């Protein structure tokens, strides 16, 4: 018994030593500790380390004095969760628009989004299914109630059953179902099970990641909460994806798309970026941080930026090029404590203030509270 206990403690200690978390924010009340939040922040302008072209990890460079906020170990793995949705849809777009002529910009927003499941979301999703002769049972995501608490309570009050359509990933599942059913050369079992990691659509997402990150390895995958594969990247690799996404498509990346995808993905880069901004509410919904960032409604001095929330405390932001950051920036924040949008917003506020993008740091909600921003000593 004592041996097992000792082994368990040693294992816990070793696991704790491997954890990538950094202290991101501490809240005190009249100088007494009240709260603390751990996680990491990856920030890149897309530049690569001098030796990285010959390095199998090919990790982008963490911006300046932000080194302490992100794990330096190139083997640190972050499951990308819903942050991957714009890129997964980009791979599907050539087949979607060729074989399904009834699609609208709002449909693409739902396919990239992690919606609240508010009535307007559900109406739009029902319309999408009806136009393509599908039902919620054709989707492979789990049945659940909406993320939106008010809608969920209302449905439960009237004893409405949980539905696949209420799942925040149901839009993405619609996209995979629509494309997979057109792949007649596939065995029927694989065509029906678009969640299978061996499905060619997921292999094409691997290729997209390889082209965008200039790293030709197979990225690890796991099963996401919705049933589809989730890809594992270093946080800085994911930040680079959003730094790239926030810019017009470069000639170099367009050329890579043209060589490896037939038909090419290039025409859809601008289309999906525009949809994210124009249909921002469908991406998340009421009071969602990514929706408000896409709409430019979080801070008056910050115009609309590309943003996406992910499960369990993930946020990615892509900033377009400007004078201080001519290549733009990609920012990924991960909270160790999971989904806490108010904390994510505060950490992002401090981050943008520290970068000189916002003029003032965040203020606590009460005079007795103080924020402490580690390492930068603000």
Quote the pLDDT of residue 377. Answer: 47
* pLDDT, tens digit, 9 for 90 and up, residues 106-131: 999 999 999 999 999 999 999 999 99
The residues facing 67 across adjacent strands are: none
Quote the pLDDT of residue 128. Answer: 97
* Average confidence (pLDDT) over 315-334: 97
Provide, rounded to the nearest whole percent, the portion of the chain with pLDDT above 90. 84
Quote the pLDDT of residue 375. Answer: 57
CA distance 52 to 56: 8
Q: What angle do CA 163, 178, 108 make, to 5 degrees?
A: 80
CA distance 156 to 150: 10
Question: By the 8 A CB rule, do 82 and 308 touch?
Answer: yes
Taking 80 as the threshold, does the pLDDT of residue 98 lie above it?
yes
Taking 90 as the threshold, does the pLDDT of residue 338 lie above it?
yes
Of 336, 225, 242, nearest to 43 by C-alpha is 242
* Average confidence (pLDDT) over 140-151: 97
More confident residue, 144 or 20: 144
Quote the pLDDT of residue 30. Answer: 94
Provide, rounded to the nearest whole percent, the portion of the chain with pLDDT above 70. 92
Structure tokens belonging to residue 166: 């209420």
Quote the pLDDT of residue 75. Answer: 87
Quote the pLDDT of residue 184. Answer: 93
pLDDT-derived band at 174 (thresholds 50, 70, 90) equals very high
* Average confidence (pLDDT) over 296-321: 97
CA distance 230 to 224: 5
Quote the pLDDT of residue 55. Answer: 54
pLDDT-derived band at 101 (thresholds 50, 70, 90) equals confident
Question: By the 8 A CB rule, do 283 and 109 touch?
Answer: yes
Contact residues for 186 (Cβ-Cβ < 8 A; gap 6+): 180, 199, 200
Quote the pLDDT of residue 3. Answer: 34
Structure tokens belonging to residue 351: 């981050």
* pLDDT, tens digit, 9 for 90 and up, residues 274-292: 999 999 999 999 999 999 9
Of 140, 119, 263, nearest to 194 by C-alpha is 140
Structure tokens belonging to residue 13: 């200690």
Quote the pLDDT of residue 329. Answer: 97
Quote the pLDDT of residue 376. Answer: 52
3-state SS track over the chain: CHHHHHHHHHHHHHHHHHCCCEEEEEEEECCEEEEEEEEEEEEECCCECCCHHHCCCCCECCCHHHHHHCCCCCCCCEECHHHHHHHHHHHHHHHHHHHCCCCCHHHHHHHHCCCCCCHHHHHHHHHHHHHCCCCHHHCCCCCECCCCHHHHHHHHHCCCCCEHHHCCCHHHHHHHHHHHCCCCCCCHHHHHCCCCCCCHHHHHHHHHHHHHHCCCCCCCEEECCCCCEEEEECHHHHHHHHHHHCCCCCHHHHHHHHHHCCCCCHHHHHHHHHHHHHCHHHHCCCCCHHHHHHHCCCCCCCCCCEEEEECCCEEEEEECCECCECCCEEEEEEECCCCCHHHHHHHHHHHHHHCCCCCCCCCCCCCCEEEECCCCCC
* pLDDT, tens digit, 9 for 90 and up, residues 217-262: 999 999 999 999 999 999 999 999 999 999 999 999 999 999 999 9
User: Rounded mean pLDDT of the chain?
Assistant: 91
* pLDDT, tens digit, 9 for 90 and up, residues 17-69: 567 899 999 999 999 999 999 999 999 999 876 444 445 567 898 887 788 89
């Amino acid at each position: 018994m004592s041996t097992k206990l000792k082994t368990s403690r040693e294992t816990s200690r070793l696991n704790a030593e491997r954890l990538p978390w950094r202290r991101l924010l501490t809240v005190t009340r009249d100088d007494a500790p009240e709260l603390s939040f751990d996680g990491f922040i990856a920030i890149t302008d897309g530049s690569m380390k001098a030796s990285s072209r010959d390095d199998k990890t090919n990790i982008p460079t963490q911006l300046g004095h932000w080194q302490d906020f992100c794990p330096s170990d190139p083997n640190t793995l972050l499951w990308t969760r819903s942050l991957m949705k714009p890129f997964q849809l980009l791979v599907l777009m050539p087949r979607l628009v060729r074989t399904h002529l009834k699609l609208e910009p709002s449909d693409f927003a739902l396919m990239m989004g992690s919606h609240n499941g508010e009535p307007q979301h559900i109406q739009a999703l029902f319309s999408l299914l009806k136009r393509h002769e599908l039902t919620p049972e054709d989707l492979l995501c789990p049945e659940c109630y909406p993320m939106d608490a008010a809608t969920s309570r209302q449905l439960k009050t009237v004893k409405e059953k949980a539905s696949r359509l209420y799942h925040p990933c149901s839009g993405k599942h619609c996209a995979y179902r629509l494309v997979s059913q057109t792949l007649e050369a596939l065995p029927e079992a694989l065509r029906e099970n678009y969640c299978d990691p061996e499905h060619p659509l997921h292999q094409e997402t691997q290729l997209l990641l390889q082209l965008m990150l200039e790293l030709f390895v197979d990225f690890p995958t796991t099963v996401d909460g919705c049933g589809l594969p989730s890809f594992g990247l270093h946080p800085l690799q994911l930040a680079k994806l959003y730094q790239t996404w926030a810019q017009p498509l470069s000639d170099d990346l367009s050329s890579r798309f043209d060589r490896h995808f037939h038909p090419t993905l290039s025409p859809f880069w601008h289309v999906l970026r525009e949809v994210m901004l124009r249909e921002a509410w469908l991406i998340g919904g009421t009071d969602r941080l990514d929706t408000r960032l896409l709409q430019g409604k979080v801070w008056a001095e910050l115009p609309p930026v590309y943003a996406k929330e992910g499960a369990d405390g993930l946020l990615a932001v892509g900033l377009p090029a400007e004078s201080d950051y001519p290549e733009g920036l990609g920012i990924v924040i991960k909270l160790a404590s999971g989904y806490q949008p108010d904390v994510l917003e505060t950490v992002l506020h401090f981050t943008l203030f520290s970068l000189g993008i916002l003029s003032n740091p965040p203020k606590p909600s009460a005079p007795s509270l103080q924020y402490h921003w580690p390492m930068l000593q603000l």
